[in-house]
Structure 1
Amino acid sequence: MATTPKAEPAPGLVLVDKPAGWTSHDVVGRMRRLAGTRKVGHAGTLDPMATGLLVIGIGKATKLLTYVVGHDKVYEATIRLGQSTVTDDAEGDVTASADASGVTDAQMADAVAGLTGDIQQVPSSVSAIKIDGQRAYKRVRDGEDVALPARPVTVHDFEILAVRREGDLIDLDVRVDVSSGTYVRALARDLGAALGVGGHLTALRRTSVGDLEVQDAMTLDQLGAMVDAGAEVPRLPLGAAAADILPVRALTDREVATLGFGQWLDADTELAYDGPLAALDSNGDLVAIVERKGDKLKPQIVFRTAHG
C-alpha cells in the first residue's frame, strides 16, 4: 500500500530566547519536537552559558539561515578583570590571577577604545573553528596546544555600562556591536591582556542579529505552553523573514513566473547593490533569493517553482 508523504511543515523563522545551560543543538532538538518536523536548523551558535536570541528556521526557512549568520550582532556581557581561564569564559578553569584593583576607569576606557573598530582577533582556542577537519575545542580537550591565526573582525561599538570593584577583581558590564565571526570571549581575554591583569567572560546575552531582536523572541517554556494548548509554533513567514534579513526586490507577475522556471531576470539599471536580494511577489511572499551577475539577476534559491 502506498504511503502518503508527510506534509511539508509551514516554513518560517522562530526567534527563541535561549536559556543558560542549553546548547544550540539542544534548542534545535526541542524545536523539532514542538514543530513536529526534523527540518529545523539554527543560525549562529550560542555557547551553553550564553542566553538570548537564537534564530531558528523551520522547513524551507532553513535555507535562509545562511543569510542570517552573516549579519552584525549585539551582545550584553560581563567581563571579569583579574582572572584568566582556559576557555576565556567562566566555563573553564582559572589559569592565572592578578590584582586588578589598581586599574583606573580611564585605563579601561583606553583599552576598550583599542579594541574598537577594524581589528585582528585571535579566536578562543576552544572555539568551533576546524583545524585539519577537527574542531579546535576538541583538540584542546584532547590536551593539544592550539594556536589559531588572527582574522579581521569589526567591533562597531564597545561600551562600558557599569563597573563593579570587588577586592582584587573588577566586573565590567558591557555592550558590544560586532561583525559576524567576532568572539566576545576573545574581546574579554584581550581587554584583560591589554590591562595586564587578564580577563574572561562571566555572562553573555545576545540581544540582536541584524534587525531581529530578542525582545520579539519567546522562551522554550512559552513555546511549549502554546503547543500544549493546541496552537502551532508561531513563526515569521518566509516573506517577512527574508525582508528582515535582505534588501527586497519586488517582482511583477511575469517575473514571478520567470523565476519559477529557474530563469534569470534583467537587473534594474539603477541597482548598485550586488549582494543577495529577497525577491517578493505583490503579496510580499518570498519567491526566490537572487543575486546580481552583470546585467542579470540569477536565482540562488527558488522557493516557489513553476511546478509547485
Structure 2
Amino acid sequence: MHGLLLIDKAAGMTSHDVVRQVRRIYKTRKVGHGGTLDPLATGVLPVAIGDGTKVLQFLLAENKSYRATFQLGMTTDTFDSEGEILLQRPVPDFTSAELEQICVGFRGEIKQLPPMFSALKKDGVPLYKLAREGKSVPRELRQVTISRLEIIEFGSESVTIEVDCSKGTYIRTLVNDIGELFGCGAHLTALRRLKSGEFSIDECLTLKALQQLEQPASAVHSLDEALRNYPAAQLNPAAATALEFGIPPALEQVLTEKELFEGTLTRLQIDNKLAAVARYMPLRSKEKRGDFELIRVFVGH
C-alpha cells in the first residue's frame, strides 16, 4: 500500500497519534505525516503510507490556510489555551477599523520569533522539552509570508481570522503578536487548518470515518495525485527506460500540457503514473544529460 491519506484531525490528538492509528488500520509501520498540527488544532493533515513517505518533502514545503480564534486580554506560556496563564490585562474598546489597522501590519513578509513551546530543536533537544523545564533559549527570527489575513468575526474579547501563509508560520505567535499590539495580550483558543497545499478540508476524512470503511484502500490517493499541483510531463519509451538508470530526459522526450519554465518542479510520468520528481533545468552545468535535474526517482533498474 503506497500513497497519501487526507485526514481531518480531531482536537486533543497529536499528529503522531494519527500516524499510530493509520499504522494499525493499514498494518504497516511505514507511515508519516506532512505537517505537524498541535493537539488543540483540527483540520487537514496529509498522512503518507509506504512509498508515499517519499513525497512528504514536497508536501511539507507547501503553503497552508487556517481559521483561528483568539481571546484578547490573557497571555499564556504556550500562546494558546492549553498553557499556563502568565498575565491578564483589560481589553480596550476597539472598532473593526482599528482591528483591521492592526492586521495590516501582519500581511506580507514578516519576521516571527518561534515560540519556546515548539518542535524546533536546540542542540538536538526539542524546544518544548526545555520549556517544560522552565528554560528559555535564544531563537532566531524567521521570515514568513502572510498572503491573506482576513477578519471573519469579532466580539468584545474574541476574534476569528483566516490566514493564508507560508510554511513554518506559527499561528500561535501571530496571535500573541497581535495581542501585544492591542496592548492587552491574546492567546489562541481554536485553530483549524483549512488547506495544506492543494488539499482542502472538504477532501478529508476523520479517523472515525476511515475506520468505518469496508475498503480503507479506497481512501488512499496515488503518489501522482499527491503531487497534483506540480505540472506533469509524460515520458516516451526511450526516456522511461533511461530514467530507470538514473538518466534524466530531454525536453523533446516528454509530453507536457503546459510550458515549463526554468526551475519548475515537475512530475515525470510513465503511463500516467509518477516515476520521478524533477526540476526543469536545461541550462545547468554539472549534468549535461537531459534537461531535468532529478530530485526523487520512484523507478529503478
- TM-score, reference length from structure 2: 0.91
- CA positional deviation for 1:131: 1.3
Aligned to 1:173: 160
> d(CA) in 2 for partners of 1:164 and 1:193?
18
Deviations, residues 210-254 of structure 1 (Å, cap 9, x unaligned)? 11111100000011111xx3553521111222223x232222222
Aligned to 2:190: 203
- CA positional deviation for 1:256: 1.3
> d(CA) in 1 for partners of 2:17 and 2:49?
15
Aligned to 1:237: 222
Deviations, residues 168-196 of structure 1 (Å, cap 9, x unaligned)? xx111110000000000001000001111
Instruction: Kindly tell me the number of residue pairs found equivalent between the two proteins.
Output: 289
Aligned to 2:144: 153
Deviations, residues 128-151 of structure 1 (Å, cap 9, x unaligned)? 111121111111111112342211
| Matching of residues 254-269 of structure 1 within 5 Å | 254-267=238-251
Whether the aligned pair in 1 keeps the contact of 2:210 and 2:216 (CA below 8 Å) is no
> d(CA) in 2 for partners of 1:298 and 1:273?
11
Q: Which amino acid aligns with 2:296?
A: I
User: Are 1:18 and 2:9 counterparts?
Assistant: yes
- CA positional deviation for 1:103: 2.9
Aligned to 2:51: 60
Which blocks of at least 5 consecutive residues in structure 1 are unaligned?
1-9
Aligned to 1:50: 41
> d(CA) in 2 for partners of 1:75 and 1:107?
22
Whether the aligned pair in 1 keeps the contact of 2:92 and 2:184 (CA below 8 Å) is no
Q: Which amino acid aligns with 2:187?
A: H
Going from structure 1 to structure 2, the CA distance change for 1:247 and 1:159 (only over 3 Å counts) comes to same
- TM-score, reference length from structure 1: 0.89
- CA positional deviation for 1:275: 4.2
| Matching of residues 214-229 of structure 1 within 5 Å | 214-226=201-213, 229=214
Going from structure 1 to structure 2, the CA distance change for 1:48 and 1:231 (only over 3 Å counts) comes to closer
Which blocks of at least 5 consecutive residues in structure 2 are unaligned?
254-258, 285-290
Whether the aligned pair in 1 keeps the contact of 2:64 and 2:193 (CA below 8 Å) is yes
Aligned partner (choices 147, 159, 163) of residue 154 of structure 2: 163
Going from structure 1 to structure 2, the CA distance change for 1:250 and 1:105 (only over 3 Å counts) comes to same
User: Are 1:143 and 2:134 counterparts?
Assistant: yes
> d(CA) in 2 for partners of 1:176 and 1:19?
20
Whether the aligned pair in 2 keeps the contact of 1:34 and 1:233 (CA below 8 Å) is no
Q: Which amino acid aligns with 1:85?
A: T
Name which of structure 1's ranges 246-255 and 154-163 shifts more when overlaid on structure 2.
246-255
- CA positional deviation for 1:205: 0.4
Whether the aligned pair in 1 keeps the contact of 2:32 and 2:49 (CA below 8 Å) is yes
Aligned to 1:108: 99
SS for the counterpart of 1:243 is: coil
- CA positional deviation for 1:199: 0.8
Going from structure 1 to structure 2, the CA distance change for 1:146 and 1:238 (only over 3 Å counts) comes to same
Aligned to 1:99: 90
Whether the aligned pair in 2 keeps the contact of 1:78 and 1:203 (CA below 8 Å) is yes
Whether the aligned pair in 2 keeps the contact of 1:263 and 1:298 (CA below 8 Å) is no
Q: Which amino acid aligns with 2:235?
A: L
User: Are 1:291 and 2:279 counterparts?
Assistant: yes
User: Are 1:71 and 2:62 counterparts?
Assistant: yes
Q: Which amino acid aligns with 2:34?
A: A
SS for the counterpart of 2:28 is: coil
Going from structure 1 to structure 2, the CA distance change for 1:268 and 1:127 (only over 3 Å counts) comes to farther
- CA positional deviation for 1:32: 0.5
Q: Which amino acid aligns with 1:263?
A: I
Whether the aligned pair in 1 keeps the contact of 2:48 and 2:56 (CA below 8 Å) is yes
